[in-house]
Each structure stands twice: as C-alpha cells, then as structure tokens.
Amino acid sequence: MKGKLKKTVLTLSEKMLTNAALKTSTSACGLGVYQPKEPKCLREK
C-alpha cells in the first residue's frame, strides 16, 4: 500500500513540476524576455 501511494505521489509531482517548467519557459520565450546567447561553435563565420 505504501509503495503504491509513494509511486502515485511521485508521478503526480513529476507531472506538475514538468508542466510548470514548460509553461514558464514557453512564456519567457514568447515574451522575448529570455534570449540565450548563441554558442561560438554554432555561429556562422
């Protein structure tokens, strides 16, 4: 019983935190707030 409850809580927590992270990153990129710097190895010369 404890094992099943623990697995359910972990799965639910994982889904909620993943969803929150995706929403945060999407909204930041959509607003243009987050502009990552392009690595030197990917820049065109």
Domain boundaries, the chain: 2-42
Tens of pLDDT along 2-36? 889 999 999 999 999 999 888 877 766 666 666 77
What's the confidence (pLDDT) of residue 30? Answer: 63
Distance CA 19, CA 12 (A): 11
H-helix or E-strand spanning residue 5: helix 2-31
What's the confidence (pLDDT) of residue 11? Answer: 96
pTM here is 0.54
Confidence of residue 37 (pLDDT cuts 50, 70, 90): confident
Could you tell me how many residues make up the chain? 45
What's the confidence (pLDDT) of residue 8? Answer: 96
The tokens for 27 are: 């909204």
